[in-house]
């Protein structure tokens, strides 16, 4: 019987040593896993914070761009309704029509170029030379003079 107890004791001692070693390894791995989980949680928290900041910035930028878009749309509508915009658009249409006539009508091009040159020369004379001086000294009776006269009369 004594031999059995000694045999069991000899068997239990290595088993206890192995059990203690395994338990210490298990505790070490648990600590490593706990550290890894904590690291992953902090990474996840940081990433969520960054993404929420980025999303907030994107929403703010989107709102600003919507405001700018609306302001630009309003400005465009305002500019398109200012006096002279329709006339400029009409001049573009006339220019396209003249270009088409120049290409499609053989006699029109030469006559058009001559008329255009005469008109340009006359236009330049209205800003340079004696004609502008005479117009300033002797006002011609035209629609501009009537408008100026109305403005002067209305301010009295």
pLDDT in tens, 54-71: 999 999 999 999 999 999
Q: Encode burial over 28-37: b for 16+ CB neighbours within 10 A, e otherwise.
A: eeeeeeeeee
How would residue 39 be classed by pLDDT, with cut points 50, 70 and 90? very high
Radius of gyration of the chain (CA): 47
Domain boundaries, the chain: 2-82
pLDDT in tens, 84-131: 767 777 777 878 877 777 777 777 777 777 777 777 777 677 666 666
Q: Say which range, 4-8, 35-39, 131-135, has the weakest mean pLDDT.
A: 131-135
Q: Determine whether 112 is exposed, middle or buried from the number of CB atoms within 10 Å of its CB (0-12, 13-18, 19+).
A: middle
Average pLDDT of the chain, as a whole number? 79
Taking the C-alpha atoms of residue 4 and residue 114, their distance in angstroms, rounded to an integer, is 133
Which residues contact residue 145 at a Cβ distance below 8 angstroms, ignoring those fewer than 6 apart? 139
Please tell me the predicted confidence (pLDDT) of residue 123.
Answer: 66
How would residue 2 be classed by pLDDT, with cut points 50, 70 and 90? confident
- DSSP structure string for 34-72: HHHHHHHHHHHHHHHHHHHHHHHHHHHHHHHHHHHHHHH
Taking the C-alpha atoms of residue 80 and residue 67, their distance in angstroms, rounded to an integer, is 20
């Amino acid at each position: 019987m004594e031999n059995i107890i000694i045999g069991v004791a000899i068997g239990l001692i290595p088993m206890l040593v192995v059990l203690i070693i395994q338990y210490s390894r298990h505790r070490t791995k648990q600590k490593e896993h706990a550290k890894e989980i904590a690291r992953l949680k902090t990474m996840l928290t940081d990433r969520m914070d960054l993404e929420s900041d980025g999303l907030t910035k994107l929403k703010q930028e989107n709102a600003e761009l919507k405001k700018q878009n609306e302001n630009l749309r309003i400005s465009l509508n305002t500019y398109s309704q200012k006096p002279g915009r329709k006339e400029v658009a009409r001049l573009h249409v006339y220019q396209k029509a003249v270009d088409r006539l120049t290409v499609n009508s053989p006699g029109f091009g030469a006559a058009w170029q001559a008329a255009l040159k005469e008109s340009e020369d006359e236009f330049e004379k209205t800003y340079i030379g004696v004609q502008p001086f005479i117009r300033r000294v002797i006002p011609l009776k035209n629609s501009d003079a009537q408008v100026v006269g109305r403005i002067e009369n209305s301010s009295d």
